[in-house]
Every structure is written in structure tokens, then in C-alpha cells.
Amino acid sequence: MNLNDYAREAHDANAKWWQDIHTGAPIERNKGELLCLVHSEISEAMEGERKDLMDDKLPHRRMAEVELADALIRIFDYAGAFGYDLEGAYQEKMAFNAQRADHKHEARAAANGKRW
């Protein structure tokens, strides 16, 4: 499977969140709210790392690991809903980043270079 396959799978699995709970009719979702929900999963992952916690729903897994999976599910759902080509964007962005001058060790070590 590629990223677009995961997006379709996640969006299909989350169809109920894109429908009116009383009528089943499609609803329009707020993009800002959806992106903030991705952010909330990342924040929960950070809290799991900060406190070195195991997950409460999947107790054999680290909380950060599960929350990052939740963030992926939300990202894939979003991309599936709005028809984004994550696979293409990922491949192009990885190729672009591999050539970026500001990502090279020399640039990062320079005054005011990217440290992280």
C-alpha cells in the first residue's frame, strides 16, 4: 500500500464522522478543526514522551507511538476526504529535501543555521 491507499482506507473507516448522525447525509467538515485534531494527537504524543507513559487503550504500546498512529489516521482521513495526493507529495518532498542546501551539515553548523 502507498500513502494514498492508507488515506482511502482511513477515510472509508471514518465515514461516520462525515455524515449527519440523524440522517446519514454527508456533512461539510471544518478544515481548521480537522487540522487542530491532528495537532492534538501530536500534543498527546509529546505528553506521553514527557511522562514516559504507556498507552491506556493499547497498554503494551508506548503512548507516543499510539498517538502518532492516531495523528496518521487523522491525516490520512483528511487527505482522503479532500483528494490529496500524499504519496506524490511525499516522494517529491523527500527528493527536494535531499538537495536542500540548508539541510546540509555545513549550513546547519554555520552561524544562524538550522539546529533542528
pLDDT one-digit tens code per residue, 3-51: 999 999 999 999 999 999 999 999 999 999 999 999 999 999 999 999 9
What pTM does this model have?
A: 0.90
Q: Do 38 and 78 touch, CB atoms closer than 8 A?
A: yes
In the chain, what are the domain boundaries?
A: 3-84, 85-116
Residue environment code for 59-69, b if the CB has 16+ CB neighbours within 10 A, otherwise e: eeebbbebbbe
Tell me, what's the pLDDT at 89?
98
Q: What is the DSSP-derived secondary structure letter of residue 26?
A: B
Helix (H, G, I), strand (E, B) or coil at 6: helix
Tell me, what's the pLDDT at 105?
84
Higher-confidence position of 106 and 85: 85
Which grid coordinates are listed for 10?
Answer: 482511513
Q: Is the pLDDT of residue 54 over 80?
A: yes
